[in-house]
Amino acid sequence: MTTPTPQDYERRIAALEQRLHAFEGRLAPPTAGRMNTAFFERYGLVFAWILLILVIGYFKPDQMFSWNSYAAMLGSNAMIVVLTLGLIIPLTTGDFDLSVASTMALSSMIIAVLNVRMGWSIEGAIFMALLAGLAVGAINAFFIIWFGIHSLIVTLGVGYFINGVILWISGSNVISGVSNDLVNVVILTRFLGVPLSFWYAGILTAIIWYIFQHTALGRRLLFVGRGREVARLSGVNVVRMRAGALIASGGIAALAGVLYTGMRGSADPSSALAFLLPAFAAAFLGSTTLYPGRFNAPGAFVAVYFLSTGIMGLNFLGAQSFVQNLFYGGGLIVAVSISQLLRKRRPMD
């Protein structure tokens, strides 16, 4: 008698899930009300985004309905999209990565130090920055998984350690003069009037969406997040999935640092840290839309630009700078609350 493989276990679990969903459907056939509720849950944030534009546009039509405003906003927030995409991968497996913004800042500073101060080519500097991001993810995975320390504690500590490294290698100074080759391919070159940074973020969103929705790897990540012990008993290598998710998070955060450097043409030892809260707010808000109840790439993409549109609109209305923190902080609390409600109500898709 042959020993079942992990793929055999996956097929059995998928078959059991299909039977369970079919049984639930027979017990509670869909009604018009339930279908309308499901439709609103899936696309509610998209409609809220449109409504937000219309409401603010009523007061500031010249600015809110100008394509130039959106072209600038789409390009300038691309690195937040990429940072959020990196964040949702470990969140899917049940781990938090509070070091993503620090990793983004480290990547940016490595590029500036190597390219400006040491004369490296921009390609070599970017390569080393991405390697550093993967290394940060591996360090997080080592302490979280092999030592069994909670991810919040490890990634918070690693993030503060990275901040110290950044201040050390930069001398606590902004380093400007990064190669124009990077600036050109990130922000200056445009397609359909929008900087290329936006299209890079869109491509990465599509790739992560495909992995989660249409590959065995994506299903394993979801299994681990729903129940690690059940996933382990089903033949899924939980350690490998969690470690891979954390390493991927570090690498993608470093990629966000590349975009951030290209947008500014310089590296600031502290400015990137302000993007941690927006990334978390977008990750949880994105889990309430398109694929409600779970972290997903298209939802994160929509959430980033929903929040960015709100901030842009508030600036047009003359709101003071502190309103941005209120908006992101309130958005995070509301998003987490809604996400938890949806997770309790919905079975895994």
Higher pLDDT, 177 or 14: 177
C-alpha pair distances (Å), 196 with each of 115, 122, 130: 22, 18, 19
Question: Is the predicted pLDDT of residue 23 greater than 50, yes or no?
Answer: no
Tokens 């500097």 belong to residue: 125
Alpha helices in the chain (DSSP H): 6-27, 32-59, 61-64, 67-76, 78-92, 100-112, 122-141, 151-170, 180-183, 196-214, 216-226, 228-233, 238-264, 276-286, 297-316, 322-345
Catalogue all structural domains in the chain, each as residue range(s) with its CATH number. Answer: 68-345 (1.10.3470)
Q: Per-residue confidence at 101, pLDDT binned at 50, 70, 90?
A: very high
Question: Is the predicted pLDDT of residue 261 greater than 90, yes or no?
Answer: yes
Say what the pLDDT of residue 31 is: 57
Q: What mean pLDDT is reported for the chain?
A: 86
Full-model pTM: 0.86
Most confident of 173-177, 204-208, 325-329: 204-208
Mean pLDDT is lowest, of 21-30, 173-182, 274-283, for 21-30
Q: Per-residue confidence at 338, pLDDT binned at 50, 70, 90?
A: confident
Question: Is the predicted pLDDT of residue 349 greater than 50, yes or no?
Answer: no
Q: Per-residue confidence at 344, pLDDT binned at 50, 70, 90?
A: low
Q: Residue 191: which H helix or E strand, with range? A: strand 190-191
What is the distance between the alpha carbons of residues 4 and 12, in angstroms, rounded to a whole number? 10
Say what the pLDDT of residue 324 is: 74
Q: Per-residue confidence at 24, pLDDT binned at 50, 70, 90?
A: very low
Q: Per-residue confidence at 46, pLDDT binned at 50, 70, 90?
A: confident
For residue 306, give every residue at least 6 positions away whose Cβ sits within 8 Å of its Cβ, in sequence order, or none. 45, 48, 49, 52, 285
Buried b or exposed e, range 211-238, using 16+ CB within 10 angstroms: bbeeeeebbbbbbbbbebeebeebbbeb
Higher pLDDT, 60 or 210: 210
Q: Per-residue confidence at 6, pLDDT binned at 50, 70, 90?
A: low
Mean of pLDDT values over 181-188: 94
Nearest to 138 by CA among 280, 62, 8, 247: 247
Higher pLDDT, 16 or 344: 344
**pLDDT of 135-148, one tens digit each?**
999 999 999 999 99
Say what the pLDDT of residue 12 is: 56
